Amino acid sequence: MLSTFLSHQRKSFWRSRNKGGSIATQIVLGFFILYFVAIALIVGFGMPYLLPKIFKGQDPLKMFNGIILYYFAFDFLLRLQLQELPTLSIIPYLHLKIPKQKIIGFLNIKALFSAFNLLPLFIFLPFCIIRITEAYGIFAMLMYITSILSIMVFNNYTVLYIKRKSITNILYTLIGLAIIAGFAALEYYKVISIMAGSHYVFSAVAAHPYYGLLFTLAAAVAFKINSDYLRKNLYVEELSSRQEKKSSTDYPFLNRFGRVGELAALELKLILRHKRSRYSITMSFFFLIYGLIFYKEKIIAADAFGKMM
């Protein structure tokens, strides 16, 4: 059945009216993906030599443990903004004798074919194979790789679930961004240290490799939640029945303005539901706090902005 779905997708692509534009877009995207994959490979194989130079006097293994969760926090933020939902014209299949689980399975498998899921493989696997094996043994190395792949899968399906829920309520996306912003603020004001926490977690995995299965369990839970949501909302009627409500209900504070408030709420929904306008708004907030993130007080006092280049 998977091969049948893929065959239909391929035929749909080649028979579409804007085939030329689609091919050009795919070629450009392919070049971008190859570029970032090449960078990831350079970073991955160069990490044993880069870490001692970047973190002078520090243990490279400790620094490697510390940057893993840092990377995936940034990965989660990028996915929330850039990762697209897997598309499949499922309406023609709904009246056929195709088990719902097969359609959901295809959507879940297709979601794994993303550039975001390629980069961690090239960045972290070379270091794991070369240095983790040397320091902790083959079994610990395998559990490191299992943990990294599990976090990748967890991010993948958690973001897809949030974005699917955001179709009917943008609050889910805002909550996700707020959580990331909260951790960033705590890190900035040195209340917590993500690097220290990441080092603690993966040091535990190195000492007790079976702990890595906890990440696998978290990934399985995210996959199950996402699949259950798809199973309950696969049919168009189930989705549309939940959308039949007044546009101002999501913004009760605007109800006091009557018809004007209802129109304002509708305008807000149009802005937040459209991908490009929503992306512009969220990125504008990011650039508002850009200086607080990158330009530290010591750099400003020393007038050493060249260090940020």
DSSP 174-216: HHHHHHHHHHHHHHHTTS--HHHHHHHHHHHHHHSGGGGHHHH
| pLDDT value, residue 166 | 80
248 vs 203, more confident: 203
Torsion angle (degrees, nearest 10) of CA 131, 190, 186, 206: 20
d(CA 84, CA 110): 11
Torsion angle (degrees, nearest 10) of CA 81, 86, 92, 97: -130
Cβ partners under 8 Å of residue 201, min gap 6: 65, 69
| pLDDT value, residue 235 | 65
Write out pLDDT tens, residues 137-149: 999 999 999 999 9
Q: Does residue 8 carry a pLDDT above 90?
A: no
User: CA dist 84 to 115, 164, 302, Å?
Assistant: 11, 10, 43
Residue 309 one-letter amino acid: M
Write out pLDDT tens, residues 261-299: 888 888 887 877 776 777 777 777 767 766 665 555 565
Write out pLDDT tens, residues 85-101: 776 556 677 777 778 88
| pLDDT value, residue 237 | 40
| pLDDT value, residue 309 | 45
Question: Tokens at residue 54, please?
Answer: 């970047």
User: CA dist 24 to 17, 31, 110, 276, Å?
Assistant: 14, 11, 22, 21
| pLDDT value, residue 54 | 85
| pLDDT value, residue 215 | 96
Q: Check: CB of residue 187 under 8 Å from CB of residue 194.
A: yes
H/E segment holding residue 217: helix 213-232
Q: Does residue 13 carry a pLDDT above 70?
A: no
Write out pLDDT tens, residues 32-70: 888 888 998 998 999 988 888 888 888 889 999 999 998
202 C-beta neighbours (distance < 10 Å), count? 25
pLDDT band, residue 11 (cuts 50/70/90): confident
Torsion angle (degrees, nearest 10) of CA 152, 155, 158, 159: -130
Q: Check: CB of residue 157 under 8 Å from CB of residue 223.
A: yes
Q: Does residue 224 carry a pLDDT above 90?
A: yes
Q: What is the mean pLDDT of the chain?
A: 80
| pLDDT value, residue 124 | 94
Q: Does residue 245 carry a pLDDT above 60?
A: no
Q: Which residue, 119, 139, 113, is CA-closest to 44? A: 119
Q: Hey, CA dihedral for 259, 261, 263, 269, is it positive or negative?
A: negative
% pLDDT > 90, the chain:
26
Write out pLDDT tens, residues 96-121: 777 888 888 888 888 888 888 989 99
304 vs 125, more confident: 125
pLDDT band, residue 247 (cuts 50/70/90): very low
